[in-house]
Structure 1
Amino acid sequence: MSEYINNCFCCGYYLVRRYKRLVNDIFPQNPLHGLDRNNLERLRFYAVRKPEKLDKAFRYLCEKISRYLNNRNRPYVILGITAMDDIVKSCYQLLNIFVDDYLETLRLVLEERDDLELIEHAVASFESFCEIREEAPNYQRNYQFFVHRFTALCYYHDEMDKNKLRCLGLRGHHALFRKTANDELQNDAWKYMDQIVPSIIFNMEVAEQNQSQEATTTTVSPANVIIKNEQMTNEETSTLADIIFRDIFNRAHSNTNISICVQLILVHLDKNAKWIPGTTIFTGMSNLLNFLKKSFRIELQRSKGSPKYPDEHKFQAAVISGIDDFAENLPDFQMMEIIQCIASSLPTLYQNTEEHASEFNSNFRLQLLLLKTIQKITTQYQSEKSSEAISTLTTFPHQLFDPLIKLISSPEVEFRLLALEIIQLLVDRWHYADRLSKIRIFQDISQLGLPTGTKRSRLSDIPFMKKFGHQFRSQLYKCILFENNTKKIFYAIYCLMNIVTLEANDPDVLVDVIHFCFEIQSVIIKMMDEDQRKLPKTNYYGIHALIAAYFNLMSKLYDINQFSDHVDQVSEDIAFEQISGCREESFVLCTICLISI
């Protein structure tokens, strides 16, 4: 009988199942003494040796924590959470056996809404759990409650412990995000981003305070129970939110979920009326252009009373000089956007048939000045850009292509010439313009240094030419047939036709331009009839010389021998007929245009 008494059979100790005895033994009679480490080690050893008993032991531990929680026995609840952490870390390979009980216990603790101490230990335990990398995660696991609870903590508004609880909410969100963000099947983090992101942004916007708000809390440490005074400031809350937000964006970028985060940020800014666009360089450029237009309007008003207005001229020159200097220091892509901005602000002439002469002259001068500005900026852009990095699609967005291509067919000679030269600069990536600036018939093109089929065509250039080629040729057709065309206009057209063909380096583009030349020839041959003459003779011969020079260069460059021989023969026959006919104007034109080199 004494044996039974010594072994406590009289009190029924050994009648209790062993896993329950081991769980009971880890709790001391006085919670200030902390967990019994020896008995905790025995419990871990038992769980490892008999994993089939692990779920029962852990469930019993959770039941004890629940009873302590109902009885408001806070120190024992904290000890129980510490014991759960220890078992979770020791038996993480069998986590799926008892994880539901673990999460349910944390849920009960987190529901204690006014107990900072318990919430702090629960969040710390949840962080430890989220650090575990599971090889076979449970896809039926649901973290919805934790997302809602952590979100509520992030918005905690009572002054007492406000910053501390908000930090705990942020830490909980971060732990959950790290746990589930990289798992394709367990996507709780992305599913609840509409709650997570706004709560983080809210804490990033916490106003900075000069003095920290000190919150004194009594924290019971399971290992050695002491009292700690902790400080949590608004700056620390916003800093923590910033760190978490950066981590979320890094993970979102790697998981191609960046659009989810960006969309939620925009929604938050809209809801809180914080979407205020900042001042950009283009805002400043638009202001300069508006000042320039206003100056011309003032000049127009003053011109009615006094023909002299030197102050406005100085101001206009200063604005243009400022735009030039500003654009020269920009990178290529911003320089191109500045060109687009100026091109879109060009005034429209001939829109009002009753437009006063002085108003027309003012708009004419403004448009001419802006075109010269574009030309100057384009020269800088063309000299700095890399021929391998720029494509036609990049160079010619529709905001720039449309106004420039329309100016090619402008009735004003100055506008047509500037538009042609600007397009030359933008298209000429390989710097052909210097070698093709004059209309000449070449017997040997090797001295030009042009590529002979070695340059690969750009896949981005060919669709552009096929899409906008008709529009380009249509405007060029109108440009060629103007009566007031000068020699510089014909030179510019010839140079541009060659550059477009060489840059595209595509047989279809070459065929389209050749057909365009045949169409022009057929039209001017009909117009040369005395009854239908609409162009000066110099224009007729200039167009023929332009087309002949283009055919000569392309036929030799692409080794189309029969075509090249035919062009040479026709050119020689025309030159002989014109010279033998002793027509002075034709002789001069042929001497200028049909120089054999």
Structure 2
Amino acid sequence: MNGAYCCGPCKPRYRRLVDSIYPNNANDGPNGANLNKLTFYASSHPEKLARIGDCILLRLCRDLARLRFNQVRVGTEAMDSLLQCCHSSPSLPQLTERHLKMIEQLLETGIPDMEELGTMSFVKFSNIEESAPSYHRQYDFFIQRFSQMCYAVGSSAEKRRISGVKGIRGLVWKSVTDDLHSNKANIWEKNHMGLIIPSLLLNLHSAEQNTMPINILMDETYGDNTKEENLKILTETCLRELMGKASFGSLRLVIEPVLRYLDDEEKWHPPPTFAIHVFRVILYSIQSKSSYYVIQELIDHLDTMATSHASVRIGIATVLSSIVSIAGTSIGPLLLSIFNSLLKHLRASVQFQQLPTCPSPEDEKTYQETLINAMGDFANALPDYQKVEMMMFTVGNIPSLADERNNRHGDVFLQHVLVKTLLKVATRFRTSYLATIFTDSFLDTLERLALVPDPQVRLITQKIFHTLLDRHDNLVILKDITLETDISDLQLNVEKCSSPDQMFMRKHAHSIMLTLYRAVELMPENEGLEQHANAISSTMLLFCIETGYDESLVELFRLCLAIQDMVLTREQEFTVLKQKTVHDIAALYLYVCASLLGIESLCQHVQEVVAHRRASNFPVRAPDGRSEDYEKGLFNRDVISDCLKGSGKDTSRLFVPFLERTASDGKMEELDADEYDGRRVEKHDSQSMGSSFDLTPPESIQPSRRNTVFSLDNTSSNHPAPRIPPKLQVLVGFPITTRSLIETLKPLDPSQEKEIDRKQTRELLTYLRRTPFEQLAEDIGRQNEEEDSSKMLARILNKKRERMQLRGELKEDHPAADEDDDESVPERRKTFFDIVYPDFVY
């Protein structure tokens, strides 16, 4: 029967139509009329599609073998036309199998023109939506062949590479456009991604080396051919489409080959421009909610490369710093995990740098700076409440500051690095209320950091205060202020202090001022003195501007006068330069504050003192005998008080000593006991706190489960009792000092409470065992009302008489006894049961 096909009239109609599309002249194109007849016949007889495909495939293989490339083009065009016109036919899967075999034949030739022809035919096929699934189709050959074409070299290398990238792009489209396709996820297998991703990255990198970088921010339409021949644009678009079509579960299969390629090709070495570009493409292509996964994978890869050379780690950290802003707030769920990983790497780098076996300490230092910048960029991409969490987390990782003498050198250096990290994060934070950021633990840590031996840490801590306090961008202006500056010409943004900030300053003003006082005292003698002085002056001025209400301003005035007295104290052995600098700090604050308050008398006093110092070469240290001329060079506390009183401010605190010197050890300590920071704490009787009677026993100052029979200050008006031992007061009394009240309000954890209970019990037992009985009786007796035996007997008889009256047992034949009782016992008040009602009520 097949032999009959040699005779034209004996051929089936579909074979005659197929033969008719080929031109007689080998250089001509397909016969358009006959091609239309073929497509019409195929759409009318879908059962003939498979045979038509076999016929065209057989003719194409014969033409390829005989190198009739024009005839091959005709057959390819005919097959593409049949696919497009019969895309809804139920027999299309059978024709598709023949079409894919035809493309395989073209790609296996190794001829660039034929490979391009097969690639374009596959691209057209990838745009066809099939109505029926094909459960046996595989794309393994095309993935391998297109990836192989991307590595082409030679004279036609660029042409073949472009064809390979186009083929991969067609695979991506085909794998995701047909929802009914059973092999939809076939392209996302690990072995396939291991071929596709390196092929794309290789062409992207080679194109970047030969052309200028071009950033594509939006997907181009697939049919746009204006830039189709640019290898870089085509490769980048393909990579972006691949990432955009990947599901969340497939991201890891895509990211792992990217990281492996960058490792193998050593693309992490600074500057990692190519790696940054690749990850930017990835993050701009995937969904924003999945961006955090890419960040997490990159940090995990940094963990893997922890033992590699510092340049590799610097490159990975640089990529992190560059792309974190793209991820935005999507990293929120893993914030602490990511930040903890970065801090862990920072700590490990610091410890490794201190080892004598470290090959390059400078590279490790660069790596640390890069990590710090990365954490700052992380903070910049987060909302404010998460920035606070990052700062608290950083503070928690700073080495213990309790005893600097026991700190290792590595811990001191780590402290320096973490403080720089804290400053980097703080620069990204915008403070609303001071209490929001300056919590008790955070403020306490900053105050301790401001007094550590390392001058650089102290300076950075002052900068942290500047960053968090400067809510109105006044710091730039304050840094350039001198005693010659006209404050009225400056554009300082000053607003009224809010109520929450006033409450914060009432609670923490003294501790902050004391920290600033100690910081002035610890300023270096020569090198770095000016920087520290400017930093402390800026901190004082920022507190004046941001919390400028009466009580806060008076505290700052007290601080200035205490700084002035510091220089005058002969025990403070400062150099001449440091003494002048300390005087300038106080003078600068008084000058600026007086100008801002607009108190003319105070401004005049400050100007007179400053002018006198310049004219008379004011001595920094006080001479043995103070002269009148020397006194004019000092700021007068009484004059300042009168000026502030004239403006309606309470200056009673201005005369309270800032510090108290003890005679025993010569150290500067805060005022103690009943006068805390100059504020007198009144003692109250536990029996009279706003009511005439008491229903509960007095509570202990410490949160304890024990009660006690002791109370404080319960003395008679005629016989005042001597002071009860302080240890007993602390154990059992009502809060009698501000310090005790603050300690009482602090929450205690169960273990701390148990420890306090045990300590309290030991001290009480020690007091009861070692104190003589007479002294114990005397102490306890003073707390009770002093009564003689006659009054006690009268009270007992009175109670007995009342009980007898209630029972009706009191006899009327003992008037004398009643009279005697009436003389010693007051008449009992009638109760409800003693009322006599009229008879009609019953």
> TM-score, normalised on structure 2?
0.38
Query: In the alignment, residue 434 of structure 1 is paired with which amino acid?
Result: Q
| 1:447 equivalent in structure 2 | none
- What pairs with 1:94-133 in structure 2 (closer than 5 Å)? 94=89, 95-113=92-110, 115-133=111-129
Deviation at 1:347, TM superposition (A): 6.8
Measured against aligned partners, the alpha-carbon deviations of 1:222-253 in whole angstroms (never above 9, x if no partner) come to xxxxxxxxx998xx222211111112222226
Change beyond 3 A, Cα 1:535–1:380 = farther
Aligned with 1:270 (options 255, 263, 275): 263
Aligned mates of 1:339, 1:96 — CA distance in 2: 63
Aligned mates of 1:372, 1:66 — CA distance in 2: 71
Aligned mates of 2:57, 2:158 — CA distance in 1: 30
Aligned mates of 1:257, 1:173 — CA distance in 2: 17
Measured against aligned partners, the alpha-carbon deviations of 1:292-344 in whole angstroms (never above 9, x if no partner) come to x9xxxxxxxxxxxxxxxxxxxxxxxxxxxxx9xx99x9675678757866774
Measured against aligned partners, the alpha-carbon deviations of 1:261-317 in whole angstroms (never above 9, x if no partner) come to 22221121122222343476999xx9xx99xx9xxxxxxxxxxxxxxxxxxxxxxxx
Aligned with 1:251 (options 221, 245, 248): 245
Aligned mates of 1:241, 1:369 — CA distance in 2: 42
Aligned with 2:185 (options 184, 187, 190): 187
| 8 Å contact from structure 1 (residues 524, 540) kept in 2 | no
Deviation at 1:487, TM superposition (A): 8.7
| 1:168 equivalent in structure 2 | 163
| 8 Å contact from structure 1 (residues 85, 125) kept in 2 | yes
| 1:77 equivalent in structure 2 | 72
Deviation at 1:55, TM superposition (A): 1.3
Deviation at 1:64, TM superposition (A): 1.1
Q: 3-state DSSP class of the match of 1:31?
A: coil
| 8 Å contact from structure 2 (residues 165, 200) kept in 1 | yes
| 2:10 equivalent in structure 1 | 15
- What pairs with 1:516-535 in structure 2 (closer than 5 Å)? 519=703
- What pairs with 1:42-53 in structure 2 (closer than 5 Å)? 42-53=37-48
Aligned mates of 1:203, 1:516 — CA distance in 2: 78
- What pairs with 1:195-344 in structure 2 (closer than 5 Å)? 195-206=195-206, 236-252=230-246, 257-276=250-269, 277-278=314-315, 332=384, 344=397
Change beyond 3 A, Cα 1:136–1:340 = same
Aligned mates of 2:199, 2:264 — CA distance in 1: 14
Aligned mates of 2:155, 2:402 — CA distance in 1: 70
Aligned mates of 2:700, 2:258 — CA distance in 1: 53
Aligned mates of 1:46, 1:11 — CA distance in 2: 22
Q: 3-state DSSP class of the match of 2:131?
A: coil
Change beyond 3 A, Cα 1:93–1:485 = farther
Change beyond 3 A, Cα 1:138–1:534 = farther
Aligned with 1:143 (options 139, 143, 152): 139
Q: 3-state DSSP class of the match of 1:27?
A: coil
Query: In the alignment, residue 38 of structure 2 is paired with which amino acid?
Result: L
Deviation at 1:165, TM superposition (A): 0.2
Aligned mates of 2:390, 2:258 — CA distance in 1: 27
Query: In the alignment, residue 271 of structure 1 is paired with which amino acid?
Result: D
| 8 Å contact from structure 1 (residues 282, 338) kept in 2 | no
| 2:649 equivalent in structure 1 | none
- Answer 1 or 2: which has greater helix percent: 1
| 2:25 equivalent in structure 1 | 30
| 1:434 equivalent in structure 2 | 502
Aligned mates of 1:178, 1:134 — CA distance in 2: 13
Q: 3-state DSSP class of the match of 1:55?
A: helix
- What pairs with 1:53-64 in structure 2 (closer than 5 Å)? 53-64=48-59
Query: In the alignment, residue 185 of structure 2 is paired with which amino acid?
Result: N
Change beyond 3 A, Cα 1:99–1:210 = closer
| 2:403 equivalent in structure 1 | 350
Change beyond 3 A, Cα 1:207–1:126 = closer
| 1:467 equivalent in structure 2 | none
Question: Which structure 2 residue ranges, 5 or more long, are not aligned?
Answer: 213-226, 270-313, 322-342, 351-372, 454-460, 470-497, 508-668, 678-698, 713-723, 748-781, 784-842
Measured against aligned partners, the alpha-carbon deviations of 1:200-231 in whole angstroms (never above 9, x if no partner) come to 0110000556799xxxxxxxxxxxxxxxxxx9
Aligned mates of 2:197, 2:54 — CA distance in 1: 35
| 8 Å contact from structure 1 (residues 193, 261) kept in 2 | yes
Identity of aligned residues (%): 23
Change beyond 3 A, Cα 1:193–1:412 = closer
| 8 Å contact from structure 1 (residues 203, 238) kept in 2 | yes
Query: In the alignment, residue 96 of structure 2 is paired with which amino acid?
Result: V
Change beyond 3 A, Cα 1:266–1:167 = same
| 2:690 equivalent in structure 1 | none
| 8 Å contact from structure 2 (residues 394, 418) kept in 1 | no
Aligned mates of 2:416, 2:65 — CA distance in 1: 86
Aligned mates of 1:96, 1:197 — CA distance in 2: 29
Measured against aligned partners, the alpha-carbon deviations of 1:379-404 in whole angstroms (never above 9, x if no partner) come to 994624999xx9xxxx89xxx99x95
Query: In the alignment, residue 205 of structure 2 is paired with which amino acid?
Result: E
Deviation at 1:349, TM superposition (A): 4.7
| 8 Å contact from structure 1 (residues 413, 485) kept in 2 | no
| 1:383 equivalent in structure 2 | 431
| 2:152 equivalent in structure 1 | 156
Aligned mates of 1:17, 1:61 — CA distance in 2: 14
| 8 Å contact from structure 2 (residues 23, 29) kept in 1 | yes
Measured against aligned partners, the alpha-carbon deviations of 1:175-203 in whole angstroms (never above 9, x if no partner) come to 11011035564212212222111110110
Change beyond 3 A, Cα 1:79–1:379 = closer
Aligned mates of 1:151, 1:525 — CA distance in 2: 90
Larger mean CA deviation between 119-128 and 50-59 belongs to: 50-59
Question: What's the C-alpha RMSD, in Å, of the aligned pairs?
Answer: 5.9
Aligned mates of 1:27, 1:516 — CA distance in 2: 109
Deviation at 1:72, TM superposition (A): 2.4
- What pairs with 1:538-549 in structure 2 (closer than 5 Å)? 541-542=737-738, 545-546=741-742
Question: Which structure 1 residue ranges, 5 or more long, are not aligned?
Answer: 1-8, 213-230, 294-322, 440-483, 493-514, 552-579, 582-597
Measured against aligned partners, the alpha-carbon deviations of 1:559-589 in whole angstroms (never above 9, x if no partner) come to xxxxxxxxxxxxxxxxxxxxx99xxxxxxxx
Measured against aligned partners, the alpha-carbon deviations of 1:83-137 in whole angstroms (never above 9, x if no partner) come to 1111111111122131111111111111011x11111111000000000112323
Deviation at 1:550, TM superposition (A): 8.8
Measured against aligned partners, the alpha-carbon deviations of 1:25-56 in whole angstroms (never above 9, x if no partner) come to 11122221211111111111111111111211
Change beyond 3 A, Cα 1:413–1:521 = farther
Larger mean CA deviation between 76-85 and 142-151 belongs to: 76-85
> TM-score, normalised on structure 1?
0.52
Measured against aligned partners, the alpha-carbon deviations of 1:387-426 in whole angstroms (never above 9, x if no partner) come to 9xx9xxxx89xxx99x9599599899999xx9xx99xx99
| 1:134 equivalent in structure 2 | 130
The number of equivalent residue pairs is: 392
Change beyond 3 A, Cα 1:385–1:61 = farther
| 1:39 equivalent in structure 2 | 34
Q: 3-state DSSP class of the match of 2:703?
A: helix
Q: 3-state DSSP class of the match of 2:431?
A: helix
